[in-house]
Amino acid sequence: MTRKFFGTDGIRGEVGIFPITPDFVLKLGWAAGCVFAREGRSKIVIGKDTRISGYMFESALEAGLSAAGVDVFLTGPMPTPAIAYLTRTFRADAGIVISASHNPYQDNGIKFFSSNGTKLPDEIEQAIEAQMDLAMSTVHSSQLGKARRVEDAAGRYIEYCKGAVNGNLKLKGLKIVLDCANGATYHVAPNVFEELGAKVIEIASEPDGLNINLDSGATDVKALQKAVVAQGAHVGIALDGDGDRLIMVDEHGEIVDGDELLYILAMSFKQQGLLSGGVVGTLMSNFGLEQAFKREGIPFERAKVGDRYVMEQLQKKGWNLGGESSGHIVCQQYSTTGDGTLAALLVLKAMSDSAQTLAELKQGVTKLPQKMINVNVPKGVDPLMVEGVREAVVDAEAQLGDKGRVLLRPSGTEPLVRVMVEGEHAELVESLCNRLAESVEKALASLVS
């Protein structure tokens, strides 16, 4: 499908630059409202993260939806997975999150959930974009949508997280350093872990509208690593600005990324008899993770990069666990989207059940050295179709054998191709990646000349 506005995760960009402008978002709200109201009175849940522009876009969406005759439930700052959950429990027709996830405060975005808490089907996105081409109108005053605040949204989600994992899980005696990225989980995640008995030391949990993801959160865990060691904590938890990513830090201050967390959860689910089929990763999942699952007899499939594609593959296979190296972890028996707080609880449960530390649990997977180089590519050019590139890839794969892999992946947002090589020996990986990137550059230069 060719989209004019929607990307793989909604619409995102810099505030004030089209399409992330108040007038566009106003009309987007109206267009979405028209589509969802076609079968009668409709209601939509709206949440946001903590960036300052969220107020502006919340008002714009509310006005557009009201003009289309749609009732609106406003939750205020709430994690993305919480909106997916509340959309289901409110029996709403859709959920909307105003967030640019792990991006800095200057960016913002709009993403939608269907009535069952999953990403919108392509045909609905197409219908919304088609509606955007029409002139905006307003329903009769008697049919205008109403808006109300959901005062207990945070409490509902906190109880959901606690109950979803296991009613018997107790974290008493566990010291956690929690990094909320000054984002949407700041008033939710600390309560979840504290109410289960953990001692929580909070960092980056004082949002001011401008500090979301600033030197903090799942994309920058240096402060968390230092805090875990300094506090003598058992574990560190880093969430991103909208709460759908998780990166953890073990008791030694070492990072435990999405690949390692996926392995820990897969092994825990397998031991409990909860693993349905296998596990879905992405093209960027480390080859060491694939090797670890092969050793354990757990099927492993790769999807395109993006939690949307992980979900699609899980549904296609009928499996229940998947994720990305970046920390999007999807556990389908508990949630319909990536949920950092819930995934952290499941990891803590694995620690409790096994009586092992986080550092011990991750020992089963050994990540292989990985090197990636970005090469500029003209729009619409597939480097593998350029003479000389395919031969260079085959040569690199031959040298790696079955102990590594080569990946050329076009960026979804930039005119780049990501050249990646993984293998057991760091020097060989470095050499092959450099040579392959040079081959791609030379081949593309010959096209231009």
- Catalytically active residues are 101
Dihedral sign for Cα 208, 176, 363, 297, please.
negative
Instruction: Give Cβ neighbours of residue 274 (< 8 Å, ≥ 6 apart).
Output: 320, 333
Rounded to whole angstroms, the Cα distance separating 154 from 108 reads 22
d(CA 377, CA 78) in angstroms, rounded, equals 38
CA distance 267 to 350: 9
Please, what's the b/e burial string for 118-127 (b: 16 or more CB within 10 A of its CB; e: otherwise)? Answer: bbbeeebbbb
Inter-residue contact 281 to 386 (CB < 8 Å)? no
Question: Which stretch of DSSP H or E encloses residue 252?
Answer: none
Are the C-beta atoms of residues 382 and 364 closer than 8 Å to each other? no
* Nearest by Cα to 268 from 347, 355, 377, 339: 347
The two three-digit tokens of residue 196, written as one number: 């289960």
DSSP string for residues in 294-308: HHHT--EEEE-SSHH
Q: How far is CA 235 from CA 139, 204, 214, 232, in A?
A: 53, 16, 21, 9
CA 29 to chain centre: 23
Instruction: Evaluate whether 370 touches 423 at the Cβ level (below 8 Å).
Output: no
Cβ atoms of 237 and 202 within 8 Å: the answer is: no
CA 337 – CA 437 distance, rounded (Å): 35
- Give the chain's largest Cα–Cα span: 71
For residue 164 the two structure tokens come to 């979803």
